[in-house]
């Protein structure tokens, strides 16, 4: 079948029948149970513990506190390591923390024979704190004299960056006569990833080494960080990643694996399991960054975008995690998506607070940046009385765009075709006119948003991947990837790639889903929509090597030149006539067992990717707003994607559906809330409002397939882009329906009702 066909997922049977093995299926029955003791303040210092009653609980084996762990600070984000210190991630976390920086901070851990004993002991531990006032917003953290959360950052600023595109300044640009100017603030909220499988690992010692089995997107990076956290050589650590129940970026952070590794060393190397509860997952892992944008913009009355300036303030929470990379990446969409005739000024800050640590989440800062960028596009269009779609066509990214700083190039361009398809699907022109001057309690509107997304992290960071192929005695092959299957279908696509290159059919390619850092070739992991692009290059390179080795052995067997033969459908064939010369099974058997010329045919290759390209697209939506109730019903929605050649159309559609669903939750209800002392208010799936199947409308998808010259098979990013555009598209549709512009997320009923009252669309009590 090969590339471009909808091969059924290679892991479908195992997942549907329940035979796929996750961490929870593999942990030994006699594993000890670890439970983390979390702080009950958001800001302060642990002064002492009283462990007396906890240690009396039958079954308690060991209690470790923040005073007992190695004095190493380590980084947790799933970024490639850099040999240059200036490019290394911020090391600001310890296994357990004496300095408390978030409600629920990890301050101690209990290891017991069973979960009941561990939980009882946790409840009986008494903690004495020195408590400080919580800092829950960026403005408070940046005030002079604010409590310092990390000594290394006395101003609480994790990172600061700025750039300019064009000449002069914004203030100089707006001196032009006749410009329409706008000043706006947009704000996005913290949300959680809500993957099905909670973070879960077990650790034990074997031959003096620590083995950690974990649900992670980044096994090779986890290995390195465990070594850093414990102060031991990285080769003393082995990490195994079995099947994984989703991650969306939360598991692109090293979460509790280092602590679990340390705990097993404290109990003589016995196996210790550490599985978070759903409540802990929401409150003690990572969130999407909440970011506030302060923007000024100037436009001519003919729709020409003249100049913009913005400042972004990102709430990092307690620890650096992926840190400033998120808001810096989000700032890119301002310069990449639209052209300012004169100047664009950008400045971004990432700031420590006492909120839950923010980290990577699907699309890595672009949903936040796109919300501000695309809301602004509509607001500018409204300010000059121009159709928002025409405003975008006039000012959006053009074919061949080159980022002025990174030099990433739009090698294949389908954005305008995506807009055309979405326009026709939603009947844009007809409905913009039809819904112009509505009255009544229910009103409809149509809105849109466009987006772009790079493919992988080059040139900002290293992009490298390896692949291994081994010919079996029956002519099938083993395929090993360091790249991780996390539910997105990577194993299926890698199998198709291997088939395409080698000529071996997919049913004869056996991909190993489990990654094991002792065995699996190196790959940095699943993130940045990189795997089919970067790791795909490694598959292609390795497949070519394997095929050449097979044909070289066929030359020995058949005494026929290798370059006159090919491999097709598991057969060695004549390149010109397609005559079958030899089956691959016959060749493999001879290669393994020949008394004259025995050869074990394998191939392994590393691909260092030094290229990148943009995927683009658009979302169009029609909504019906019930003004008195503040509810929004999605009548119709479509995502149209320019993601290069589709490797597997059904999987591509599934990726888009998943991203759209996530985007709808982000738009309409999801938000992590805190009380005044920094305690999470809704860290459970009853109060944290995720959309269910009943809340999800029909999701429409379309693709503009243009072969990208840089992709190994003409492909480019698709994993993350689907989650980017829904929020601004829906916001803009509500603006069209009601005339009210909402500039903060989520767009929940309470917010809508209050704003409609403010604008006189809902009459107050006693009003006629």
Q: Kindly tell me if the per-residue pLDDT of 636 is higher than 90.
A: yes
Alpha-carbon distance of 562 to 538, in angstroms, equals 23
Domains, the chain, ordered by start? 28-132+199-275 (3.90.1170.50), 290-458+611-758 (3.30.365.10), 464-608 (3.30.365.10)
Alpha-carbon distance of 700 to 586, in angstroms, equals 48
Cα atoms found within 13 Å of the Cα of residue 23, Cβ hemisphere only: 28
Q: Kindly tell me if the per-residue pLDDT of 766 is higher than 70.
A: no
At 728-748, the pLDDT tens digits run 999 999 999 999 999 999 999
pLDDT of residue 2: 85
Q: Kindly tell me if the per-residue pLDDT of 267 is higher than 70.
A: yes
Copy the structure tokens of residue 145.
Answer: 């004299």
Q: Kindly tell me if the per-residue pLDDT of 495 is higher than 80.
A: yes
Q: Residue 764 — pLDDT band, cuts 50, 70, 90? A: low
For the segment 171-190, the average pLDDT, to the nearest whole number, is 98
Q: Residue 767 — pLDDT band, cuts 50, 70, 90? A: low
| In contact, 189 and 487? CB cutoff 8 Å | no
CA angle at 374 for the pair 372 and 380, rounded to the nearest 5°: 95
pLDDT of residue 86: 87
Q: Kindly tell me if the per-residue pLDDT of 101 is higher than 60.
A: yes
Of 307, 308, 315, 286, which Cα lies nearest the Cα of 191? Answer: 286
For the segment 704-732, the average pLDDT, to the nearest whole number, is 98
For the segment 114-120, the average pLDDT, to the nearest whole number, is 98
Q: Kindly tell me if the per-residue pLDDT of 756 is higher than 70.
A: yes
At 72-95, the pLDDT tens digits run 999 999 999 999 998 999 999 999
At 189-240, the pLDDT tens digits run 999 999 999 999 999 999 999 999 999 999 999 999 999 999 999 999 999 9
pTM over 0.85: yes
pLDDT of residue 334: 97
Of 225, 255, 272, which Cα lies nearest the Cα of 81? Answer: 225
pLDDT of residue 518: 97
CA 305 from centre of chain: 31
Q: Kindly tell me if the per-residue pLDDT of 765 is higher than 80.
A: no
Q: What is the mean pLDDT of the chain?
A: 97
């Amino acid at each position: 079948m090969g590339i471009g066909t909808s091969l059924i997922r290679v892991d479908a049977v195992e997942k549907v029948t329940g035979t796929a093995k996750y961490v929870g299926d593999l942990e030994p029955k006699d594993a000890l149970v670890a439970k983390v003791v979390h702080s009950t303040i958001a800001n302060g210092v642990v002064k002492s513990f009283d462990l007396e009653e906890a240690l009396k609980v039958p079954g308690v084996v060991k209690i470790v506190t923040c005073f007992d762990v190695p004095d190493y600070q380590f980084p947790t984000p799933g970024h490639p390591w850099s040999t240059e210190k200036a490019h290394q991630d911020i090391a600001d976390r310890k296994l357990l923390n004496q300095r408390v920086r978030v409600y629920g901070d990890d301050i101690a851990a209990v290891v017991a024979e069973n979960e009941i004993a561990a939980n009882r002991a946790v409840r009986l531990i008494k903690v004495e704190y020195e408590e400080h006032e919580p800092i829950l917003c960026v403005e408070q953290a940046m005030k002079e004299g604010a409590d310092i959360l990390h000594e290394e950052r006395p101003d609480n600023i994790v990172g600061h960056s700025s750039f300019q595109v064009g000449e002069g300044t914004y203030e100089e640009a707006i001196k032009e006569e006749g410009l329409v100017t706008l000043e706006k603030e947009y704000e996005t909220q913290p949300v959680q990833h809500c993957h099905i499988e909670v973070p879960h690992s077990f650790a034990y010692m074997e031959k003096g080494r620590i083995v950690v089995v974990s649900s992670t997107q980044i096994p090779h990076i986890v290995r390195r960080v465990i070594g850093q956290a414990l102060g031991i050589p990285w080769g003393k650590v082995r990490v195994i990643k079995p099947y994984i129940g989703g991650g969306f970026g939360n598991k692109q952070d090293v979460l509790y694996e280092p602590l679990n590794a340390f705990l097993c060393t404290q109990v003589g190397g016995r196996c210790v399991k550490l599985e978070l509860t759903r409540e802990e997952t929401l409150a003690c892992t990572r969130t999407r960054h909440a970011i506030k944008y302060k923007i000024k913009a100037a436009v001519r009355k003919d729709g020409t975008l003249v100049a913009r300036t913005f400042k972004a303030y990102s709430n990092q929470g307690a620890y650096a995690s992926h840190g400033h990379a998120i808001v810096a990446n989000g700032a890119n969409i301002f310069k990449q998506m639209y052209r300012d005739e004169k100047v664009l000024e950008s400045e971004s800050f990432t700031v420590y607070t006492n909120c839950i640590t923010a980290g990577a989440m699907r699309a890595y800062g672009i949903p936040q940046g796109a919300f501000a960028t695309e809301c602004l596009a509509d607001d500018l269009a409204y300010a000059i009385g121009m159709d928002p779609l025409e405003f975008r066509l006039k000012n959006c990214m053009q074919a061949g765009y080159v980022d002025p700083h990174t030099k990433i190039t739009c090698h294949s361009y389908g954005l305008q075709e995506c807009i055309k398809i979405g326009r026709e699907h939603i009947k844009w022109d007809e409905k913009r006119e039809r819904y112009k001057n509505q009255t009544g309690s229910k009103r409809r509107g149509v809105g849109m948003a466009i987006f772009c997304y790079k493919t992988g992290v080059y040139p900002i960071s290293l992009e490298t991947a390896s692949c291994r192929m081994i010919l079996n005695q029956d002519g099938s092959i083993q395929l090993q990837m360091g790249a991780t299957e996390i539910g997105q279908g990577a194993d299926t696509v890698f199998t198709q790639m291997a088939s395409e290159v080698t000529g071996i059919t997919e049913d004869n390619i056996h991909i190993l889903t489990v990654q094991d850092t002792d065995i699996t070739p190196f790959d940095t992991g699943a993130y940045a929509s990189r795997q089919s692009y970067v790791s795909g290059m490694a598959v292609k390179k390795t497949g070519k090597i394997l095929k050449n080795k097979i044909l070289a052995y066929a030359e020995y067997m058949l005494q026929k030149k290798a370059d006159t033969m090919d491999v097709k459908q598991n057969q060695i064939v004549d390149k010109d006539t397609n005559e079958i010369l030899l089956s691959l099974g016959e060749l493999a058997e001879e290669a393994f067992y020949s008394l004259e010329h025995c050869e074990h045919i394998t191939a392994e290759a590393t691909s260092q990717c030094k290229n990148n390209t943009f995927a683009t697209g658009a979302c169009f939506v029609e909504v019906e707003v019930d003004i008195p109730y503040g509810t929004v019903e999605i009548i119709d929605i479509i995502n149209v994607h320019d993601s290069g050649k589709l490797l597997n159309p059904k999987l591509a559609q599934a990726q888009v559906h998943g991203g759209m669903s996530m985007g709808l939750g982000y738009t309409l209800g999801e938000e992590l809330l805190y009380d005044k002392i920094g305690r999470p208010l809704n860290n459970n799936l009853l109060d944290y409002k995720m959309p269910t199947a009943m809340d999800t409308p029909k999701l429409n998808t379309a693709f503009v397939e243009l072969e990208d010259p840089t992709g190994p098979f003409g492909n480019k990013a698709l994993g993350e882009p689907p989650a980017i555009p829904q929020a601004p598209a829906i916001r803009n549709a509500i603006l069209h329906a009601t005339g009210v512009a909402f500039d903060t997320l989520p767009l929940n009923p309470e917010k809508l009702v209050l704003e409609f009252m403010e604008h006189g669309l809902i009459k107050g009590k006693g009003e006629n």
